[in-house]
Amino acid sequence: MARSIFILLLICSGSFVKAQEQKVVAASKFEEIEFLFKTEIDSVHVINFWATWCGPCVAELPYFMEASETFANQAVKFSFVSMDFKNQYESKLLPFLKKNQLPGNQFNLWDMDYNAWIDKVSPAWSGAIPITVIMSPKGKLLATSSFESSEELFELIAKSLD
């Protein structure tokens, strides 16, 4: 009996380690990631909505990698919410993330009822991606178009830190 439990623990911990390496949380409903948008925070939280099939989204991802290095010693955290479709999770998203190690937390949102949750992110958001939401104790900043350079992203983060 004890041996069976030990083997089961090894199997489960192996699965857990694999899931941790990918850092991807699949969310079928927006409510599962709504905590990302809480307003009572003590640091800067950069949240980017993107997808592997979105050219401008993929083009700006290196800027977030640079930002995570630039602001590594400051109270800045990153989360990425992929809008890749559920049937692309294993075939496209996971291989992409394995190849391109994005900083911070990774989420894959499958909630297709956009009208029910887009305003919860921001009433100013049309629903188009990429979009970056920067949450800070000062409030919420919204970048509704892709960044042309890492400096643009750095400026918004720095503004939220001041």
Residue 109 domain flag: yes
Residue 157 and residue 134 in contact, taking contact as beta carbons nearer than 8 Å: yes
Residue 89 domain flag: yes
The whole-number pLDDT of residue 84 equals: 96
Residue 10 domain flag: no
pLDDT tens track of the chain, all 162 residues? 433 333 333 333 333 333 335 468 999 999 999 999 887 788 999 999 999 999 999 999 999 999 999 999 999 999 999 999 999 999 999 999 999 989 999 999 999 999 999 999 999 999 999 999 999 988 888 888 889 999 999 999 999 987
* Structural domain count, the chain: 1
The whole-number pLDDT of residue 144 equals: 86
User: Quick one: how far is CA 25 from the chain centroid?
Assistant: 10
Looking up residue 82, the CATH number of its domain turns out to be: 3.40.30.10
The whole-number pLDDT of residue 162 equals: 78
Element at 116 (helix H, strand E): helix 114-121
Residue 3 domain flag: no
The whole-number pLDDT of residue 99 equals: 93
Element at 97 (helix H, strand E): helix 94-99
Residue 1 domain flag: no
The whole-number pLDDT of residue 106 equals: 95
Tell me the helices (H) and strands (E) count for the chain, helix number first. Answer: 5, 6
The whole-number pLDDT of residue 23 equals: 67
Look up residue 91 and give its DSSP letter: I
Residue 65 domain flag: yes
pTM of the complete model:
0.83
Instruction: Give the range of the structural domain holding residue 66, as residue numbers without chain letter.
Output: 24-161
Q: What gap in Å lies between CA 157 and CA 141, rounded to an integer?
A: 9
- Please return the burial class of 162, using the count of CB atoms within 10 Å of its CB with bins 0-12, 13-18 and 19+: exposed
Q: State the DSSP string of 3-57.
A: HHHHHHHHHHHHHHHHHHHHTEEEESSGGGTGGGG-S--SSEEEEEEE-TT-HHH
Residue 62 domain flag: yes
Residue 6 domain flag: no
